[in-house]
Amino acid sequence: HFMNFFEILRVLRLLPGLAALLFLAACQSQLPDNSEFVRTVNFSDLQTYRYKHTLTSGLEWRDANRLVLEELSPEVVGKEMTRRGYEAVETGEDILVVVKWRKAASAYQSPFDSIDGPVASLGRRESAPGFSSRISLVVELYEGPDSELFWRKELYNAFDAIQFTTSRITRTLQKALDNFPERVERDPNLPSIQ
């Protein structure tokens, strides 16, 4: 009977260590690289794209800033999609791209929100007020003729509105598409499921 009692004690002593190990593993885990997907999609069907439009919302935008966004957004997104192997088309696209810029008065939720990185964000925080006009970005990709949303990336408080530059716009768009996968080469020898 003593042997069973000691075995039970030994197992009980291991439980806190195992619980702590599981807790640390859960804390270490990150979202997978494809965490932007909102539904499953067959990537071999996605070969072409079309940029639909740039939307601006929130606080009032200067006309010049809105024009920069409307000009630069399709250019940067086009380069990123082409770099991944997708072909731009006028009609009959497999992927429809929508870019949404929002200007709002907010405080940084985290120093990691800023496109400039946490060190630059913390350095500016000492002299800036807690609330400021900041710009966020949402990039949405829709699939097929029914235009069903399958991928969405949102970057909150990417930069302060007073820091509006083409460089920050470009970096924000590139960061939003960082985890979007490259085009899958279709095998012409495989039979179609359709």
Say if residue 193's pLDDT is above 70: no
Query: What tokens appear for 106 in the block?
Result: 């907010």
Higher pLDDT, 39 or 8: 39
Stronger pLDDT, 15 or 26, i.e. the higher one: 15
Would you state the pLDDT for residue 30? 43
Query: What pLDDT shows up at residue 145?
Result: 80
pLDDT value of position 27:
47
Banded model confidence at residue 29, pLDDT cuts 50, 70, 90: very low
What's the mean pLDDT in 171-184?
93
**pLDDT for 85-140, tens place per residue?**
999 999 999 999 999 999 998 865 555 566 666 655 555 554 455 678 899 999 99
Cα dist from 92 to 42, 83, 133, 141, 142, whole Å: 17, 20, 39, 15, 13
Counting Cβ atoms within 10 Å, is residue 138 exposed (0-12), middle (13-18) or buried (19+)?
Answer: middle
120 exposed, middle or buried (CB, 10 Å; 0-12, 13-18, 19+)? middle
Largest interatomic CA distance in the chain: 84
Please say if the pLDDT value at position 71 is more than 90.
yes
* Dist CA 168 CA 137 (whole Å): 12
Q: How far is residue 166's CA from residue 76's CA, in Å, rounded to a whole number?
A: 10
In the predicted model, is pLDDT for residue 70 greater than 80?
A: yes
% residues pLDDT > 90 (the chain): 49
Residue partners of 186: CB distance under 8 A and separation at least 6? 44, 47
Average pLDDT (39-59) is 92
What confidence tens digit (pLDDT) does each residue in 142-154 have?
998 888 999 999 9
